[in-house]
Structure 1
Amino acid sequence: MNQQDAIDAINQAASPKIKYAFADIDGILRGKVIHRQKLLDSLADGSGFCDVVWGWDSSDTPYDNGIITGWQSGYPDTPVRIDLSTLRHIPWEDNLPFFLADFSNPNGPDLAACPRSLLKRIASLCRDMGFHAEYAQEFEWFNFRETPQSLQTKGFRSLEPLTPGMFGYSILRPSLESSFYHDLFDLLTQFDIPIEGLHTETGPGVYEAAIMHDEVLRAADKAVLFKTGVKEIAYKHGIIATFMAKWNADLPGCSGHIHQSLWNADKSQNLFFDPSKPGKMSELMRQFIAGQLYCLPHITPMFAPTINSYKRLVEGAWAPTTVTWSFDNRTTALRILNQHEKLTRVEHRVSGADTNPYLALAAALASGLYGIKHQLSLDIPPSVGNGYADKQYGILPANLYEATQQMARSPIATELFGSEFVNHFTRTRDWEWRQYARQVSDWELKRYFEII
């Protein structure tokens, strides 16, 4: 949609209200409802948003190590741009017009911390190299018959799952909540997030959805909106949806796998597919895979951004732990699917459901392009059988602290994303680790309180 089409649409809307939002460093949508006139005025005069959203964490606690903003700067307004091409109407809110925004400055550089601005820069580099990046993210998440109030009252314990037991790919279980199940598919599709597939996964109350693929920035927009959209639709049904990577040690984790391919500029040819080469893999695809494997240990926090992320990345939990790739193998970091040209792609399996999609897709694309730019050779052979056992080419960091320290020191990360972003992002992850380290867990109390 071009700018004039968007302006005409909001002028013709029955209500003068407009909602807009942007994703913070954790991928959480922050925004507000404004009058249509405020939006129209901002097209000429610009707009601002309090930059505290880059100076606090997911619970609104200010960082003590921030440099982009903080008490030292007084948390001023920062230029924000509402992207009119992202106009949607929220079907579960009386078709309220909605826009995505990012912190881009028409009179200067974009805000280094802004995830959407970072992905836009990586996508532009991809186009300059002559490629069209086609991406999609799929998500698993747990559903509970709870409310925000009951979560607090129960202390996040003894929660009631939407359905009991382990029943993956069940046709039966969704019929218990058919209105919720079909609302997810229908309302998200109406919200311009077309769903390719929706089904139960193994675990009590677990669903999985695959979003239809699109150009990389639009794919990330859809993934960000998908997570919040699912939560809002769930609210309407008295349900809480969680995208935590691992909410229970005894149950499977929740992935956010990334499907990716590069095409020529007019999208007439999948550049990863070459039937004349071994494995039908083009040299470009091999370089792309080599780049992703080489960069992965340097940028792991962008695929595993929370303390909890690393509870999912353990052996035998359907999530990778090693620097590996293979053909249609769900135990490796990269899974290659290449039966025919149209569907040939690389599935990045490290990414969890708790990721910020802008950062996860930026990391995946930038690392793949790094391999192409440097013409890296794919010297790592495909894993055969159990990828967890194939540790000869490296393993993933074991926790957020280890991963963050490695990224903060890495010249590779700086080359991919710039020093300002790496500095800000790793400071936020260091803060996250320190908040965790100062807590006393139930496990510690049970293990040490009486006995030690």
Structure 2
Amino acid sequence: MNEHQITAYLQENNIQKIKFAFADIDGVLRGKIIHPKKFIDGLQSGYGFCDVVFGWDSSDVCYDDIQLTGWHTGYPDKACHIDLSTFRTVPWQDNLPFFLGDFSDADGKGLAACPRSLLKRIAKQCVDMGYHPEFAQEFEWFNFKETPQSLQEKNFTKLEPLTPGMFGYSILRTSENSDFCNDLVDLLAQFNIPLEGFHTETGPGVYEAAIMHSHILEAADRAALLKTAVKEIAYKHGIIATFMAKWNEDLPGCGGHIHQSLWNKDQTMNLFYDGSEVNKMSELHKQYLAGQLHCLPHILPMYAPTINSYKRLIEGAWAPTTVTWAVENRTTAFRVLNSSADYTRLETRIPGADTNPYLAMAAALASGLYGIKNKLTLDVPQTSGSGYQNASNGKIQPNLYEATVDMQKSAIAKEILGAGFVEHFTQTRLWECKQFAKSVTDWELKRYFEII
């Protein structure tokens, strides 16, 4: 819908309130409910939003060392612009009109810290190079018979999973909770987040959902919205959903793998496919993959943005630990799927479910375009067998601090993402490390309290 059609829709349906939101640096949706008049009045000029949303962490604690905003600037308003193409209604909230926004113009020029703005800029680079970026993200998450209040009361311990035991691809478990599962699939579809597939994963109360592929910006919008939508739908069933990368050391982690391909502008040809080549990979596909392999150490925190992310990236836990690739191999960092021309794509397997979809997809596309622009050759041999045993091209950094320091110093990161974004983002990740460093964990108490 265009502006005139949306205005007419609001008037014809006597809409009294509208919700809009945007993703902060952690991928958390922040937003407001506003009056229709305010909505219409702000379509051109934007809506004032306190820039503290880029000046605090996921717990609303203000950073002490970023330049963008802070006590030194007085936390002024910044103009958030709604993207009318994101219009949908929220079916589990009486079809409340909903929009996504960001802090930039149509080309993504604006606030350097805004994740959606960054993705818009990189997507435009891709289109300007003559390619259509087709992306999708899939998520795994755990579900519990808990409430926000019970989580606090139990201190996040001894939580009751939705279902017991390890039961991947179970028909029984989805039938046991059919009301919840049907609501997830049906309501997400009504919310314009169509799922390609939905099933249980291995673990108590864990599900996986793969979103249908689309243009990269729409794909990231869908992915960001899915995480919040799943939580809201779960609330209505007395369930808590978590997208933590690794909530329990004894259970598999939660992936957020990204599938991607480049097409010609009219979307009639998958430019990653060449049936005459080895592995059916076109030269463009090889350059794109070479770029991702080359850039991975420089942008890792965008795939693994939290302290907890690195608890998932361990051997034997269905997550990669080495800078590797292969065709149809789930132990490598990059998996090539080449069953047919329409479905040939690259799967970037490093991201967990805790990623900010805008940043993870921006990192993937920017890295791939770097390989194409510089005509990188795919010199890293395909891994045969276990990717965990192949460290010939390097290992993935084991923690957020080391990964962030690498990114902060990286000329490549600044080249492909912009110096302003890299400066802000790495400072927020170092802040996260400082917050963890001063905490006393359960592990420390159990290990040292009595014995030392």
Q: 1:279: Cα distance to partner?
A: 1.1
Q: Which residue of 1 aligns with 2:248?
A: 248
Q: Is there any run of 5+ residues in structure 1 with no aligned partner, and where?
A: none
List structure 1 runs of 4+ shifted beyond 3 angstroms: 105-109
- Residue 305 of structure 2: aligned partner: 305
Q: Distance in 2 between matches of 1:208 and 1:400?
A: 25
Equivalent residue runs for 1:64-143 within 5 Å? 64-104=64-104, 109-143=109-143
Alignment of 1:231-310 (within 5 A): 231-310=231-310
Equivalents in 2 of 1:365, 1:398: separation in Å? 23
Count of aligned pairs: 452
Equivalent pair of 1:3/1:85 in contact (CA under 8 Å): no
Using a 3 Å threshold, how does the CA distance of structure 1 residues 108 and 341 change in structure 2: closer, same or farther? Answer: closer
Q: Distance between the aligned counterparts of 2:353 and 2:383, measured in 1?
A: 25
1:174-216 deviations in Å (ceiling 9; x for gaps): 1221110000000000000001111000000000000000000
Aligned-residue CA RMSD in angstroms? 1.2
**1:106 CA drift (Å):** 8.6
Alpha-carbon contact 1:6-1:85 (below 8 Å) kept = no
* 1:119 CA drift (Å): 0.1
Which residue identity does 1:276 align to in structure 2?
S
Deviation per CA, 1:40-72: give whole Å up to 9, x if none. 011244321000000000000000111100000
SS in structure 2 at match of 1:391: coil
TM-score by length of 1: 0.99
Paired residues of 2:109 and 2:121 also in contact (CA < 8 A): no
What runs of 5+ residues in structure 2 fail to find an aligned partner?
A: none
In structure 2, the residue matched to 1:200 is 200
Q: What secondary structure, in the 3-state scheme, does the structure 1 residue paired with 2:317 have?
A: coil
Q: Answer yes or no: is the 8 Å Cα contact 1:79–1:105 preserved in 2.
A: no
**Is the 1:334–1:347 contact (alpha carbons within 8 Å) kept by the matching residues of 2?**
yes
3-state SS, counterpart of residue 7 of structure 2: helix
Q: Deviations over 1:92-125 (max 9, x none)?
A: 0000000001011599940000000000000000
Residue 366 of structure 1 aligns to a residue whose secondary structure is helix
Residue number in structure 2 paired with 1:404: 404
**Does the CA-based 8 Å contact 2:45-2:79 persist in structure 1?**
no
Could you state the TM-score of these two structures normalised by the residue count of structure 2? 0.99
When residues 108 and 100 of structure 1 are mapped into structure 2, their CA distance, relative to the original with a 3 A threshold, is closer
Residue 159 of structure 1: aligned partner: 159
Aligned-partner residue type, residue 134 of structure 2: E
Letter of the 2:102 partner, please give it: D
- Which position in structure 2 is the counterpart of 1:214? 214
Range 38-47 or range 130-139, more displaced: 38-47
Separation of aligned partners in 2, 1:40 and 1:390: 57
Instruction: Single out whichever of 293-302 and 43-52 deviates more from structure 2.
Output: 43-52
Residue 6 of structure 1 deviates from its aligned partner by 2.3
Letter in 2 for 1:392: S
Percentage of identical aligned residues:
67
Deviations for 1:298-337, whole angstroms, at most 9, x for unmatched residues?
A: 1000000000000000111100010000000000000000
Report deviation, 1:5: 2.3
Alignment match, 2:168 = 168
Comparing 22-31 and 437-446, the one that deviates more: 437-446
**Alignment partners' CA distance in 2, 1:306 and 1:12:** 45
Contact 2:109 2:117 in 1 (8 A): no
Deviation, structure 1 residue 357: 0.1
